Structure 1
């Protein structure tokens, strides 16, 4: 069976690997679409925490069930599915409290265990979500959009709230879209003007701010001096994450959606005087997947505007290298099988 293996930093290779064996309460799924995300790129470049080599990448997946036993979900061969790639233990304190997205023993496909950048994969039935009626592109995008939906659900957004989202990459765009769904006025912040414009045209952001030295002044002006409740940082950039406090209203929230392999430092007087909440947002839950699927079925989000680059499986790893070039201007890339 064909697979793409990240053998070490800066080295992806086509390899033949063993066919998956379906275990108890598992299904065999043929992979049809693979989204490439920041996690994959960071792993490829050696900047991803919780990662070991070699590893089959890929956790934004759309597939079709090849083989499955009797199951309470009513899934059957031929069903199109999205895969929840966060393999939780079900026993730890987080799982017992329903927070399976931050399981103590979390095994994320494509990070801690081999992922879906291959022709077929064995997946626990509990981690399959039927996606019949959606396109394969929409199905592959459920997982990254669920990250944004989960972050918004973590917040205390009320209709009419002013929200800042820093980072107009795929995750930040998802945060913007679901903040708009919650009725917020969204201010998008990024260094890239093209990505900011996508924040407006695709996610519905109300205001666009270039991430520069005067960004805080601009946000103060846009919010009549109130700043934002909450602020989401989806950059994975330590400088941005350290400075995001500047945009938070008194009594507001700062929610870190991005992940960085570094320490984050908050200036305590600025933190304290705001009586501010600082939250992390990790992965997503089945509830978030179902929320995203409902929105996609309503056709209010257009994947043609979200997916900017695509390639065939055979074109990897050269395709991955092109995505890293600034001139490529990639936002979301998809691999087709």
Structure 2
């Protein structure tokens, strides 16, 4: 069999393309032939930092086909299409034993690529061996391209579920990158009365319009005035912060009504200042959200399958493995029109 090719971060702003023998899955493991792996902002951070993120996380939005299954594997079989996932609550970690299965330590470690069975590299590769827990069989209704967006769709499904959004809520989504656009669609699917999207990029505002949003604004007075108009001066019921820009945390909170919810999706790479007294006196509910649970992947796939979430407009490019280093450099420099690019390591 021909060797398999892998892309890994070798140093700051440097990606190494290497070859190795196609690995053989051990007991409880599967060998996945990668079809697509999406490029995430986390990948760009890993590229720029030279290894700030775990090795398994550089290329974590992958999908593919089971090429071989090790001894004892029962949930998938050779030939099954699969998506990257995390396992169900393990039942034996400290969080599970305390009755907090939704925050299982084992699944959280899997999501962050830091568990004892984390692979040595991510899905920017032709093949990947992972624990059976780390894959979930794909819904037949979904195309390969749609499967390439399941992982970020699960991230945002998880966030909207955690926010406890109610029917008819006035929702603001801050940031119209892939995460913001997916969160906005889940919010709409969850019964928001109106979804207001705010985004400085004209191209991203156009992307929001392409998936059916009509209340789309650049930051500024017109946006703030519209939120106040829609809420009789009260402020948003729920605001999903999807930029990760630390300086926006307090201004975001000030757009939320007293007793409303600020849901944090974007991950800041620096510290931030907020007004503790403001958050307390207005009794804000602040919800942090990171990654997902096993069930979020099924919910995400169903949302795509029934058309509630349209991922097709988010895909702005498909490239080969050799093109990855140059594109990461462009993404890191901000010199790109792309929203979500899928890498097809096997062509």
Give the structure-2-normalised TM-score.
Answer: 0.87
Indicate whether 1:32 and 2:35 are aligned.
Answer: yes
Quote the Cα distance in structure 2 between the aligned partners of 1:181 and 1:60: 23
Please, what is the CA RMSD of the aligned residues?
2.6
1:82 is matched with which residue? 83
Which 10-residue stretch deviates more, 110-119 or 131-140?
110-119
Indicate whether 1:304 and 2:308 are aligned.
Answer: no
Indicate whether 1:45 and 2:48 are aligned.
Answer: yes
Task: Select 1:148's aligned residue among 136, 142, 156.
Answer: 156
Which 10-residue stretch deviates more, 95-104 or 240-249?
95-104
Pair 1:327–1:18, CA change in 2 (3 A): same
Which 10-residue stretch deviates more, 38-47 or 272-281?
38-47
Which 10-residue stretch deviates more, 301-310 or 205-214?
205-214
Unaligned runs of 5+ in 1: none
Indicate whether 1:222 and 2:222 are aligned.
Answer: no
Deviations 1:286-324 (CA, angstroms, capped at 9, x unpaired)? 211101111222234433311012211222211222334
Q: How many residues align?
A: 333
Quote the Cα distance in structure 2 between the aligned partners of 1:167 and 1:153: 19
Q: CA deviation at 1:99?
A: 2.5
Quote the Cα distance in structure 2 between the aligned partners of 1:140 and 1:93: 33
Q: Is the 8 A contact 1:89 1:95 kept in 2?
A: yes
1:122 is matched with which residue? 129
Quote the Cα distance in structure 1 between the aligned partners of 2:255 and 2:57: 39
Give the structure-1-normalised TM-score.
Answer: 0.89
1:156-305 alignment, distance < 5 Å: 156-184=164-192, 185-202=194-211, 204-212=212-220, 215-305=223-313
Pair 1:24–1:90, CA change in 2 (3 A): farther
Q: Is the 8 A contact 1:109 1:116 kept in 2?
A: no
Q: Secondary structure at the residue paired with 1:249?
A: strand
Quote the Cα distance in structure 1 between the aligned partners of 2:300 and 2:57: 26
Which 10-residue stretch deviates more, 118-127 or 86-95?
86-95
Q: CA deviation at 1:127?
A: 2.2
Q: Secondary structure at the residue paired with 2:319?
A: strand
Pair 1:101–1:145, CA change in 2 (3 A): farther
Q: Is the 8 A contact 1:34 1:60 kept in 2?
A: yes
Quote the Cα distance in structure 2 between the aligned partners of 1:42 and 1:332: 15
Quote the Cα distance in structure 1 between the aligned partners of 2:113 and 2:276: 37
Indicate whether 1:12 and 2:15 are aligned.
Answer: yes
